[in-house]
Chains A and B, each alone.
Chain A
Amino acid sequence: MEEVYVEDFMSPGCVGCPAVKAMLEELSDELECELIIEEVDITVDATRAAQYGIMSVPAVAINGILKFVGLPDRKELKDAIIEELEG
């Protein structure tokens, strides 16, 4: 099965972050791939966020490419993952 690595950048006080987490969990069940999701708390690992240039959360990087800063639309998120699979 094809694999996609998702870094889900969040912080404890972030309002939109739980929604991104929930979307990713749903897509993990829905898509025919192995979606590896790593939740990265930017208050703990600010250096990782800085490498991508992330200045606010939620933010999502897929296979090392930062795709979204801010709350993504569910379809946009799904399409971005599929794009990586097909890439």
Chain B
Amino acid sequence: MPSDSKDKRIGVFICHCGKNIAGGVDIEALLRSTREIPGVKFIAENRYSCSEDGQIDIQNAIQDQELDRVIIAACAPSLHLMTFQRCGESAGIEPSFVDLIDIRKWTVHGNPEKVDPDEALERSKKLIKQAVKRMSLKRVIPQVVVKTETSVLVIGGGVAGLEAALDLADKGYEVNLVERLPTIGGKMALIYKVFPTNDCAPCILAPKTAYANIHPGINLLTYSEVTAVEGYIGNFSVKVTRKPRYINEDSCTGCGLCVEKCPQKVIDSVYSAGIGERKAIYIPYDQAIPKKAVIDDENCLYMKTGACRLCEDECPTDAIDFDQESRTIELKAGAIIVATGFDEYNPTEKTEYGYDRYNNVITQYQLARILDIDGPTKGKLLRPSDGKEPQNIAMIQCVGSRDENTNEYCSSICCMYALKHAQIIREMVLPDTEIYICYIDMRTAGKNFEAYYRRTRELGINFIRGRPGEIIEETDTKNLIMKVEDPDLGRLLNLEVEMVVLSCATLPSEGTEQLSGILGTALDENGFYQEVHPKLRPVETNVRGIYICGAAQGPKDIPDSIVQAKAAASCVDGELRKGEIKLPEFMVKTTGPDKDR
């Protein structure tokens, strides 16, 4: 209340952060100006406020000086506010009366907001003055304790979502796993082998998908999308729209007779990357979970013309149901994990590489589907233009990545999957085919990745440190001609190859923007989900109770996706395991089940 604001005993602690703050602002001048602010009863400086010694100093001052409000001028609240709130609470101060303000952003080298010391001093003075005023007038934020749901929603059935779902289900939570496509497994199920072990991807993924399918704690909702989310941590209400498969999932045995009989073939852009075909009624692939058919209503002859229904005649369990409609179900969730993965960049706009104009230019994802022995070509590597085995192949790195005209970030996994495909071709498919990898830098920072790179070189793969400016197709042969300057050799190379493979950027998956709008979660400048802090809180979002993992947070490989999935599951468990949670009263009243009372 204003009337008693003069009675507050406010302490201000200015952190040096080693030299990160002290090296960029005059601490003595800041201390002098802070002493003059009305209402400040105590002021101190710490070399590292967040250290054990720093926190003990703050706690001692709270008790010795009888402080009831504390302001720490140091780093970002997202980094250490909770640390200081705990520190204050254990010395008897209500958490909302502990404030952390960021003066480090103006002083630390490498921060885009860094300013000169004079400017940093003026800004810091102003921010401290503002915080003192805020804290002097601030009242405690009313909190209430609410019960939490025991169910969790996981969005995305790729390897990250599966790992998080299995971890939580094994801990006893009821998990609803929502997947947009007809099968769980995500991208990992379709990349044939994984680096750096060259394990068969489905072989190490299938146990997880199969376990998720039979786990009593997991409810699989495939071919479904989250369409609405309301509420708050502990008590989210979720609407999920289930698209019609036109198949009774309980009756379908996945025998495939309907697929054999279906006369309508279409290009399979999802599971065969546009290389192969499927039928209008299809089972995505042999190891699909659930192994149930689905009818593509845009291409089904009966849906389009009113004639056919051969699948219905053939089905031994009468599982075909053309009357099925989209339906929306409502779920409760104590927490939500977003694991929506990534999509491959479509390189058509990079016209210099001729993708979509030249048949023999493909992407790495398409190559993965071609190399897969269960893929559209059953593992045979043939040129799309004439079905010949290519005698030489060029891979071009960083297509749509590290590029100011498209995406400036590094997509992180492209170097490794190019190496993987080069190894597979050399060792298992076409040993005599010459392979060139045209790159800017090879980035192989993961565990055992450098050895994998070295091994690829030892296999005789040609590495050219440069990328072509343009690819030209030779009209008669459909070969691809390019000039590449290799600074290591100091000369311009003229390359003529029979196939080109583009290592394309990793993009946020389709629908990310829409889903983030539904969830109220922030996206970063590249369109991936924004974490609270990139180092210390990498799987938390701006909405408490909603977590992110895997490539939804940013480009990453499988091991890192698994680590994040486990971290997200651990965060959920940490919040929900007590069965109740303390929350701001206003949020509970305005967004929860009691909001209209």
Contact = CB atoms under 8 A, between A and B. Distances in A.
Are both chains from one complex? Answer: yes
Interface of A: 2-5, 7, 36, 38, 42-43, 45-56, 63-66, 69, 84-85, 87
A5 B137 contact: yes
Contact of B130 (A3, A38, A54, A56): A38
Interface residues of B, number: 31
24 contacts: A3-B2, A3-B5, A3-B133, A5-B137, A7-B134, A36-B133, A36-B134, A46-B78, A47-B76, A50-B544, A51-B81, A51-B141, A52-B584, A53-B232, A53-B544, A55-B543, A55-B591, A56-B520, A63-B139, A64-B140, A65-B142, A66-B141, A66-B586, A69-B586
Given A5-B134, A49-B542, A64 B586 contact: no
Contacts of A49: 542
B587 A52 contact: yes
A44 B137 CA distance: 23
Contacts of A36: 130, 133-134, 137
A42 B139 contact: no
A38 B542 contact: no
Contact of A47 (B130, B520, B532): B532
A2 B2 CA distance: 6
A83 to B, nearest CB: 11
Nearest to B85: A51
Given A5-B137, A50-B542, A63 B586 contact: no
Contacts of A7: 134
A53 B165 CA distance: 26
A60 B126 CA distance: 22
A3 B137 contact: yes
Nearest to A70: B590
A76 to B, nearest CB: 14
A53 B545 CA distance: 11
A3 B132 CA distance: 13
Contact of B139 (A47, A53, A64): A64
Contact of A51 (B5, B96, B133, B591): B96
A64 B138 contact: yes
A7 B520 CA distance: 20
Interface string B92-132: 00001000000000000000000000000000000000100
